[in-house]
Amino acid sequence: MTQPISSHEKARAIVNAALERKAEEPIALDVRELTSFTEAFVVVVGRSDRQIRSIAEEVTRMLKQSGDAPLGVEGLDEGRWVLIDGNDVICHIFSPESREHYDLERLWHDATRIELDLPEGTSQEEASP
C-alpha cells in the first residue's frame, strides 16, 4: 500500500501532469485556513479547448494511476473551464479569457501560495497581493 501524500505534494504532482500537456501560468494555493471543502487549488491555463481537454485528461490519468481517482470532472464538453475535484486538491484548467474573468487568485487572495519547484523556463504566475 502506498503512503498518502500531502495536499502540497499532490498539488505539485497535478501541476507537473498539466505541464506535460503544455499548461501555462501554473499556481497552487493553500486554502486550508479559508475553506473546509478542500486543502488546495491548482490553477493552470490551456490555449485552446482541445489543449484544455488534453490537460484535464492527463491530470485525471495521473490521479487514477496514483490510486487517487478524482471525485468528479466538470466542464470537459465546453473546454473553457474544467474543474477536477481531487478531494483535497481541486484543479482548475482555464482558457485565458475564463481565468481572467473568474480571477480566482483575487477571490482567494488570502491563500498562501504553494512553492511549485517548476522546471527551468516555466514561470509561476504571480498571485494578486
- For 79-101, how does the pLDDT look when each residue is reduced to its tens digit (9 = 90+)? 899 999 999 999 999 999 999 99
Angle between helices 49-65 and 7-20 (to 10 degrees): 130
- For 21-73, how does the pLDDT look when each residue is reduced to its tens digit (9 = 90+)? 999 999 999 999 998 999 999 999 999 999 999 999 999 999 999 999 999 99
> Residues 17, 49, 97, CA angle at the centre, nearest 5°?
95
Say what the pLDDT of residue 79 is.
81
Domains plus CATH for the chain?
Answer: 7-113 (3.30.460.10)
| DSSP-based three-state secondary structure for 90 | strand
pLDDT > 50? residue 127 = no
The model's pTM: 0.87
pLDDT > 60? residue 121 = no
Say what the pLDDT of residue 118 is.
73
Q: Bigger pLDDT: 106 or 119?
A: 106
Task: Kindly state the average pLDDT of the residues 2-13.
Answer: 84
Q: Is residue 127 packed enough to be buried (19+ CB in 10 Å), middle (13-18) or exposed (0-12)?
A: middle
> Residues 9, 10, 12, CA angle at the centre, nearest 5°?
65
What is the maximal distance between C-alpha atoms in the chain?
A: 42
Judge contact between 72 and 86, C-beta under 8 A. Answer: no
